[in-house]
Chain A
Amino acid sequence: MLNDSVCPDCGRSWADFRREHELGCPSCYASLRLQLKAHLSGRCGQRDQPGPENLHDQVQDCRRHLLLRAQEAAVAREDYEEAARLRTLLTGGEA
């Protein structure tokens, strides 16, 4: 039954998508929502898509996260000099 769903805007069906691996228009996401959710969770895991965020902020957060991880690893291997250098970077100073 779900396989018979058709997008009212572009006429693309779930069977069309299975054959061509491409959707026809943004409305396909609403029309084929259930099948797509199942398909994506099978292919990409169960994670929900995080909301859109400014790319500069994302990169800054990500760099901070990576520095924190590196600092933890340095402490774990008792490399305190490296841990101090990373701490300086984290607080915005120059290492």
Chain B
Amino acid sequence: MELRQGDAAAVLLFSQLQLARNLEGHRFFTTAGISEREQIFTELEAFRAQFFPELELVGESSQSPEKTELAIERLDAPPALRGMQGPWSEFRESGGRREIFLGCGEQIIFRTRRPGCDLLSGLEDLADWEELARDNLALAHDEHFGWLTADPELAGPGLSVQVCAFLPALFWTRRLEQTGEALAAMGFRLRSAVEEKNSALVWLENAHAFGWTEAELAARLEELASRVRTEEENALEDLAQERDAELRDAVLRSQAVLGSCCLLTREELLRRLEFCAMGARLRWLPEDRWALAALLYLSTGDAHLRAMAGEVASEADPHLDDLRASAVVKAWKDA
């Protein structure tokens, strides 16, 4: 996870692009039978081995369900992997930010991730990989619909663009919903980036891609993300002006709890982290608490904690609250 450690202004934590392509003459992966899936996978793997032999295998379908769930929670797998029975594989550039997923809902996905919100540069990251695929694979394409994908709203450029944003002030002023509605009217959306449906950590992403070029989509989301960032800053200013004492009290209490608690539910933790993040932005707490709060927000879900504990605990297991508290207190004190 690349976060802008120490940069209190990093409302937009990181951005990623996923470019999907499929092979002509084959069913899409989710409807193909097992033998056709293997055929598709073999063809894509041969392409990968010829042109990207140096990529490291970082995930495959033999992973246990817990690990796959964990990867999804940590945003380390595209949504297309959810529920996939395989075969699928994930390859990563050594020390780089680019990845290739083979055998997902969309057969081949090129993905890149960058800190902050730099989607046009992200698109440039993928340009040479996409060109190799275009020149060496028989890709499904139609004059009217563009690149063909299992989800037709992704057809055209086949591109998903996403920006992960931490927006505690919009969340607490209840303006996040309005922001989401405004984005939806323009073909974009806000979606919680963690397992809780309502949260201050969200994905800003395109709801569909058809009708756009890849660069138009990336540039448009960059512009909208910048506006959302301004909205978050305005909301925080309003909150600090209108409810100063209340907010300051909540920030300082939260800071104390995160540094010394013994049991912590996920729900309480999220609220405490939101207050501490706002406190960091207002310089009531050290600036680096902002990035730490975002990181803990992402990495203290139940699936992550179960994997840390190396066991499968039931959802109601109080042991998770114990684990969560000790992980948070350690991170909070070490920072």
Listed in ascending order, the chain A residues whose CB lies under 8 Å from chain B are: 9-10, 12, 17, 21-26, 29-30, 33, 36-37, 39-40, 43-45, 47-56, 58-59, 61-63, 65-66
Contacts and interface: CB of A to CB of B under 8 A. Distances in A.
B148 A26 contact: yes
B131 A49 contact: no
- Taking residues whose C-beta sits less than 8 angstroms from the other chain, chain B's interface range is 35 or more
B156 A49 contact: yes
Contacts of B146: 49-50, 52
A62 to B, nearest CB: 4
A51 B157 CA distance: 9
Given A54-B127, A55-B130, A58-B123, A40 B210 contact: yes
Interface string B148-171: 101111011000000000000000
Contact of B27 (A10, A17, A63, A66): A10
Interface stretch (B60-68, B137-145, B241-249, B282-290): B137-145
11 contacts: A9-B27, A29-B142, A29-B152, A39-B152, A40-B210, A52-B141, A52-B146, A52-B147, A55-B123, A59-B123, A62-B218
A26 B40 CA distance: 14
A23 B28 contact: yes
A39 B24 CA distance: 23
Contacts, number: 111
A25 B150 CA distance: 7
Contacts of B126: 55
A48 B211 CA distance: 5
B216 interface: yes
